[in-house]
């Protein structure tokens, strides 16, 4: 299965506010507010302004968090990227 590449919304398009266990992300482009939990905010932060796929994200997040390296981690990150795409917070690159 291919490892699709995504690009996060520009940082200036999002207002990210941690609210305890939940993070509110206001998308200025759509005027929608999304309530998300970890690891979605961390994924967006790790993406920055660059196009990323699950493999690259796994490497970036492993540098900050205790993540096992392997296909299972990449599969979970791939699913989270699809969730972020469904919310409109990332788009195919």
pLDDT of res. 1: 59
> Could you give phi then psi for residue 76, rounded to 5 degrees?
-65, -45
User: The tokens 């690159």 sit on which residue?
Assistant: 93
**Cα dihedral 22, 26, 42, 2 sign:** positive
pLDDT of res. 48: 92
Pick out the chain residues at pLDDT < 50: none
Beta strands in 1-93 (DSSP E): 6-8, 14-19, 22-27, 32-37, 90-92
pLDDT of res. 2: 78
CATH number of 6-92: 3.90.930
Taking only the tens place, the pLDDT of each residue in 36-46 is 999 999 999 99
């Amino acid at each position: 299965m291919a490892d699709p590449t995504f690009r996060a919304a520009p940082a200036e398009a999002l207002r990210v506010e941690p609210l305890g266990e939940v993070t509110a992300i206001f998308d200025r482009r759509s005027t929608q507010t999304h309530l998300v939990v970890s690891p979605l905010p961390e994924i967006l932060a790790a993406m920055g302004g660059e196009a990323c796929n699950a493999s690259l994200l796994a490497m970036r997040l492993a540098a900050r968090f205790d993540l096992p390296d392997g296909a299972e981690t990449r599969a979970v990150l791939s699913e989270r990227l699809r969730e972020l795409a469904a919310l409109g917070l990332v788009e195919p690159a």
